[in-house]
Structure formats: C-alpha cells, structure tokens
Structure 1
Amino acid sequence: MKYSNFEFTNPLFLWGLIIIPLLAAWLYVSRNRNQAKLSVSSVKSIQKSGLYTYLYRGLWAFRLLALTLLIVALARPRNVAVTTKNKKNKGIDIVMATDVSGSMLAKDLKPNRLEALKDVAEKFVDKRPNDRIGVVLYAGESYTKTPITSDKSIVKRTIASIEYGGIEDGTAIGMGLGAAVNRLKDSKAKSKVIILLTDGVNTAGSVDPKLATELAKGVGVKVYTIGIGTNGMAEMPYAKDYQGRLLYKPMQVEIDEKLLTYIAEETGGKYFRATSNTKLKTIYDEIDKLEKTEIEEFKYYNYQELYRNLVLAALALLALEYLLKNTLFKSFI
C-alpha cells in the first residue's frame, strides 16, 4: 500500500518545541556558571582528558533531543493512504435530435449554425463520461445516426461527420422528436433526456409535434428544446449556382418558439434560444448542470502511526546518556 500523505493528528503539541532552544540556552549558561575552575602550572598531564571533558559537557544534548522527539510524538505524526472507490447510480440516457435542414447553413452563427452546433455538441459529450448518448438527425424526414451508446468516441465521430444533404430538405420537428423518443422508450436509465434543436418551424413529416410530445411524456422522457438563430435577418442559402455552390441572401429568421416552449414545458424540460455561438455554448453548459448523474464516492483511510518509533528513540537516548554517565564518564563530577 502506498502512503502518499503525511499529517500530524495533534499539531498543537508542536508549539512545545519552542521550549527546546530556551532550555538549551539555560543549560549552557548554567553549566558554565557552575563549572569549577582549577589553576595549574602545566596542562600537559591532563590534555588527554580534554576530549572526554567536552563530551561529558555535551551529554545534556541527549536529553534535549529526547525531549524534542517526545514532543513530536505527542503531535502524533502519521502517514495516510487514501483509497477512493466510486459507485455510479443508474445514469442518464441522452438523445441529441438535431435539425440538419438547409437553413442550418445560415451564417448568423460562425462559421454557420451547423458547424457551431457540432463544436459545442462534441464538448458537451466530453462532459458526460458516465452517460449514454445517441444522435438522431432530421430535416424533411428523420433517422437515427447513432443509437444510444456509452462509447463517446463513436458519438463524437458521428457529430463531426454531420453534414447538410443526403436527406430530404424540410423541418419535420415531430418526426425528429418521435425518432428520439423511440430510441429511449425501452431505456432503464434513471433519467431519459432529449435535446431537440431546430432553427425553423414544423413544415414537413407525418408526425404531429404535439403527438410526439405526448409520446415523450408517456415514457417519462424530458425534452430540452433549443431554437438556434439570431433575431431578425440572417444570411441563408436559397439556391445553388451552376457550379453547385450555395447562394446566400438576407432572410427573416423564423423559429416556432411557441411550439418549442410547449414541448419543453409539457415534458418537464426547458426551452432555450441560441442567438450566438457564446449563447449556444452557455445553453449546453446549463443543460449539463441540470442533468447530472449521481456518483457516490467512498474513501478508505489507512494510517501508519510514526509516534511509537519516536518514543523508542527518545528512551534509547535517555538510556544511552545514563549508561555513559555511569560508565565512561563516571569519574567526572
């Protein structure tokens, strides 16, 4: 087991170390004051005993060091090993139902609505490591691009590969919502969520958006709706030139906010309006905070007590001082 943290259980005792230098100074002064002096005509006969004299005078250092160790021992030093285990409760299943109609290429968000969404959606996926996510695309009709999966790399690749075209143009909000609900109806997750994004009004499809809303309510799915597009006019594609390049012109932004608000409120979700890249990011950040998977964290602590060794070392120093005074330095007064 690896001990990675060191701590004192009773750190207030360390204030007692203040007494050590004061006691050392007092012992030094008192020993010099009480030391007997002897005058002799020659010191040659006692030079050999000089070393022993200095060692004897230093025996008090053993007591000071022992006292220091005992004070530190009272502070209860110990090493701590912390083991963390996480228990994930039933997570959240999320389906991102995304409008890929031609108007999603409008340039009121940079570089356009679709690319702005892809960037934000990929970052949103990165923040959901404990949830399953699926992707549904819709325009004039709808289809599942990726079923709900816990493999975030697949989801991110799916989002990155979203492009305009390959599906009948139009805005079938009811079909997009219905396809997303169908992906979640058998889910056993704690929470089932759809993020429905569009930039227009329901103009296509065979499924009424309000009927799809009732289906979502029936299987306990919460829908967060996002209307993407600035207020007023926006540069939107309206045709292609002879080389197949899109032609743009200013057009009025039309979003059925009343319908999107209805879908969100009926299912317990919330409606958002993304009028800029920054606002779009803020919306996904808010949804991320609103829908969190509960994770229980358990921490296990193991302690390696160190005070015993300090006490033993202090006793050993005191014993050594006693032995030296009564053996090697017994002849000293």
Structure 2
Amino acid sequence: MHFADPLFLLLLLLIFPLVWYMEWLRRHKRGALRFSDLGRFRKIKPSSSLKKRHIVTFLRMLALALLICAAARPQTSEQMLQANYTEGVDIIVALDCSGSMQAMDLDYRKQNRLDVAKEVTADFIRHRLTDRIGLVVFAGDAYTQCPMTLDHDVLLEILKGVSITMGGTIPDGTAIGLATARALKRLDNSQTKSKIIVLLTDGMNNAGEIDPLQAANIAKIQGVKIYTIGTGSRSGVAPVWVEHPLLGGGWTNQPVELDEKVLSDMADTTGGRYYRAGDQKELKGIFNEIDRLEKTKIEDLGEHRYREMFGYFVAAALLCLLLELILSQTLYRVLP
C-alpha cells in the first residue's frame, strides 16, 4: 500500500500538540460544583472506569488520524498489465571448419578445435533468447548453414552437424573475407539497431576473392560490428592426430598460423573487438564477454492499476467517532 498524496500525512504531527492542549484544558477547567472541603473526596479510590477515561480522547484522536490518512489517498496495487517491448540483436556466427580445426590444443588431445568451438557457441546461443541468430560455415569457401532465426532449437541441431570441411563438401582453406561477406549478405535486410558478426577462425585468409579488410569496410557502412576470435595454442604448435595407412595413427604437431593483425584490424574498423583464445576456458570467457557487451534492450511498458482505500479509513474513523460518542454519553459521561 502507498499514499498518492503523502504530504497530508504531515498533519499527523499536529495530533500530539492537540492531545497536550486538550489535557491542559481539562486540568485547568473550573469545576461546575464547588465544595468548601475536598478532603473526603481525596480519600476515595478512583474506580477502574475512571482510570480508563482517556479512552474517549484516544478514540477521538484515532478518528482524526484515520481521516488524515484517508485524505492522503491510500492505494493498493490491484493489477499490473505487462507489455514488455523487446528489441533483439541480429547475430551471425561465422565458424571456421577448415582442416586445421582438427588440431586438439584447445582441449588438449580430447576434443578438436571445431568441437570445442561448437560447444561454446551452443552455450552462447542458449543465452540469447530474444535474438535472431544465423550460422555461416567456411573453409576454402563459405556457405550459409542456417539463416537468422528465433528457433534456436533448430539452429542448435544444425550446429551439431557441422564437421571438418562439412565432410569434404567445402574445399579446404580459410576464406575469412568471403565468410564475412556471406554474413553481411544475411544481415543486409535486418531492421534491428544492433547487428553483429562473431567470426571464429584458427588461420589466415588464403582463399576466396574478397579481402577481409574490404569486407570489414562494407560492414562499417552497414552498421555491423564484427567480433573476431583467433584460436590456437600460444606455443606456436598444436597436436593433431594423423592416421597413416601403414604405420597406423599417431600424434604430430602442426604450426599455428593465425593472422592476428588482420583479425584485429577487422574488429577495430567496425567498432568490435578482437580476442585470442589459447584454450577452451579462454574461449568460453570470450563468448561470455561478447554476451555481456551485446545486451538485448527490454523496455517495460506495463500499466499499474491501483485500488483506492480511503473509504476503509473513513469508515474506521466514523466507527471510532460513534464509539467515542456512545462512551462519552454513557460510561464516561461527565456531569453536569
């Protein structure tokens, strides 16, 4: 409960001086009957009803306090109509699925880079409940694997099916510029204010006809921010399991060839950020930071309805006055 006009409550401060004044009047009031000697009356013990005579004054002051509270318009919340306005972010995840993503350095010799990236990306998607998210995969070429959608269950199923070079259907290589262009094409008709590309790769641009920085400049014109993520061991080499037809399987090391300058320049051009992930924990932290940076705007346009309660206070005040009137004319009546 709250008061619509709380300034009226300041009048409650007048009650205490008023009580004091009434008591002062009572004590200094001249008696209607006069006696030559009051000694005998002082020996009489006051009755219990006389001791409770102040209840009349209390009821009168309580009625006044209740009327003041009624004037302050007490209200209770009766109903709240919610009309949340949500403005989502349009996101394209561009995921490198080239042959080098087979390296097992992010989760050492347990999962390859692509599997770790898919797992972390899936967690990111699950947290973006009100955003449209799409998926572009790339190696030597780039393809839209899933257009932007709010049906994240479908998107997650498609993400599960992403594999190295998509089972050989995409030529090997790393077409960073072309992947960015594909993502921009998907965002071309977006009407949202916030549009971002999250591009994850472990290599340098060596395929496709589009330069990554040229694609970044186009993104800047379109108002699209690019967050680039470079993955790979910081040691400079990464373990890879290789099957040999005669010698069987075995571990070998491949060099980590990551063009951090290009990835950083792409992010800087568009107002995004470049991140370096040396292991699975770092990659999770990067996606969590992007999730915090790109927040969905939710505006509560709810309407609050209140129920006026002053009638109850007035009724209680009238009840107190009635009880005070009855008691003052019967049990606590003053004669004459």
* 1:252 pairs with 2:252: no
- C-alpha distance 161-84 of structure 1, shift in aligned 2 (>3 A): same
- The one-letter code of the counterpart of 1:99 is D
- The one-letter code of the counterpart of 1:87 is Y
Partner of 1:100: 97
Partner of 1:46: none
Partner of 1:275: 278
- The one-letter code of the counterpart of 2:117 is L
Conserved? CA contact 1:197–1:225, under 8 Å? yes
Q: Which runs of 5+ in 2 are unaligned?
A: 28-40
- C-alpha distance 72-191 of structure 1, shift in aligned 2 (>3 A): closer
Q: What secondary structure, in the 3-state scheme, does the structure 1 residue paired with 2:95 have? A: strand
Conserved? CA contact 1:16–1:71, under 8 Å? no
How many angstroms apart in 1 are the aligned matches of 2:249 and 2:128? Answer: 36
* 1:78 pairs with 2:81: no
Partner of 2:159: 159
Correspondence for 1:190 among 193, 198, 216: 193
Conserved? CA contact 2:12–2:65, under 8 Å? no
Q: What secondary structure, in the 3-state scheme, does the structure 2 residue paired with 1:123 have? A: helix
How many angstroms apart in 1 are the aligned matches of 2:114 and 2:272? Answer: 23
- C-alpha distance 79-218 of structure 1, shift in aligned 2 (>3 A): closer
Quote the offset at 1:176 in angstroms. 1.9
Q: What secondary structure, in the 3-state scheme, does the structure 2 residue paired with 1:189 have? A: coil
- C-alpha distance 52-222 of structure 1, shift in aligned 2 (>3 A): closer
Quote the offset at 1:271 in angstroms. 1.8
Quote the offset at 1:197 in angstroms. 0.9
Q: What secondary structure, in the 3-state scheme, does the structure 1 residue paired with 2:90 have? A: strand
Conserved? CA contact 1:222–1:264, under 8 Å? yes
Q: Tell me the matched-pair count.
A: 310
Deviations 1:285-324 (A, max 9, x none): 3333443444433243322232332133112221232134
Partner of 2:137: 137
Conserved? CA contact 1:106–1:234, under 8 Å? no
- Output the aligned Cα RMSD: 4.1
Conserved? CA contact 1:109–1:277, under 8 Å? yes
TM-score normalized with structure 1 length: 0.73
- The one-letter code of the counterpart of 2:157 is R
Quote the offset at 1:74 in angstroms. 6.3
Conserved? CA contact 1:13–1:72, under 8 Å? no
Conserved? CA contact 2:15–2:61, under 8 Å? no
TM-score normalized with structure 2 length: 0.73
How many angstroms apart in 2 are the aligned matches of 1:306 and 1:260? Answer: 64
**67-76 vs 274-283, which deviates more?**
67-76
How many angstroms apart in 1 are the aligned matches of 2:116 and 2:310? Answer: 60
Q: What secondary structure, in the 3-state scheme, does the structure 2 residue paired with 1:147 have? A: strand
Q: What secondary structure, in the 3-state scheme, does the structure 2 residue paired with 1:166 have? A: helix
* 1:126 pairs with 2:126: yes
Deviations 1:39-72 (A, max 9, x none): 8xxxxxxxxxx99999988655644653553465
Partner of 2:321: 318
- C-alpha distance 328-221 of structure 1, shift in aligned 2 (>3 A): closer
- The one-letter code of the counterpart of 2:113 is R
- C-alpha distance 217-325 of structure 1, shift in aligned 2 (>3 A): closer
- The one-letter code of the counterpart of 1:306 is M
- C-alpha distance 71-247 of structure 1, shift in aligned 2 (>3 A): farther
How many angstroms apart in 2 are the aligned matches of 1:102 and 1:18? Answer: 85
- The one-letter code of the counterpart of 2:100 is S
Correspondence for 1:87 among 85, 100, 106: 85
Conserved? CA contact 2:242–2:252, under 8 Å? no
Q: What secondary structure, in the 3-state scheme, does the structure 1 residue paired with 2:83 have? A: strand
Correspondence for 1:232 among 231, 235, 253: 235
Percent identical:
40
Deviations 1:186-214 (A, max 9, x none): 33332332111101122334544345445
Conserved? CA contact 1:88–1:295, under 8 Å? yes
Quote the offset at 1:184 in angstroms. 2.1
Quote the offset at 1:147 in angstroms. 0.6
Conserved? CA contact 2:232–2:238, under 8 Å? no
How many angstroms apart in 2 are the aligned matches of 1:227 and 1:127? Answer: 22
How many angstroms apart in 1 are the aligned matches of 2:249 and 2:270? Answer: 38
Partner of 1:47: none
Correspondence for 2:301 among 298, 301, 311: 298
